[in-house]
Amino acid sequence: MKTRPVAPPAPIFAIPVRIYYEDTDAGGVVYYANYLKYLERCRTEWLRNLGVDQSALLRDPGIAFVVRHVDVDYHRPARLDDALTVDLAVARIGHAQICFEQHVRRDDEHAPLLSARVQVACVDAARMRPTALPPSLRSRLETPQ
């Protein structure tokens, strides 16, 4: 029996990113690790857009989000002065984790330069051990934008 691949979730949030000289390597393309920073910024701004203050979460109830796993496909390079869009879609919200589908695209192109699946865990910040997402936060994250 053949199964069809499941389409990735539609992006629900995006931010612009401009490529500066400091982002590039000796070959003039974006250094591969910098893409992880762009993905992180997008997730942070998504939370901020939902009214989630990560500093407040750290104080009370004492939780933080940590990246547990990243699976990245680099399709094509970005270069100096490129205007990019970094987006995310929530693929799944679990008991103590959130899985994201994220992409980086040039503003004028549909095909992604990078595709990533990022698994973020909610942890008790004092013990750095997984902990459940607080119900009030979970409802905010699950509410369609």
Residues labelled as active-site residues: 25
Q: DSSP E strands: which ranges in 13-96?
A: 13-18, 63-74, 83-93
Cα torsion 120, 126, 127, 130: sign = negative
Spatial CA neighbour of 62 closest among 15, 143, 9, 123: 123
Q: Where are the alpha helices (DSSP H) in the chain?
A: 34-49, 54-59, 135-142
Give CA torsion, residues 7, 98, 23, 113, to 10 deg. -10
Q: How many CB atoms lie within 10 A of CB 136?
A: 9
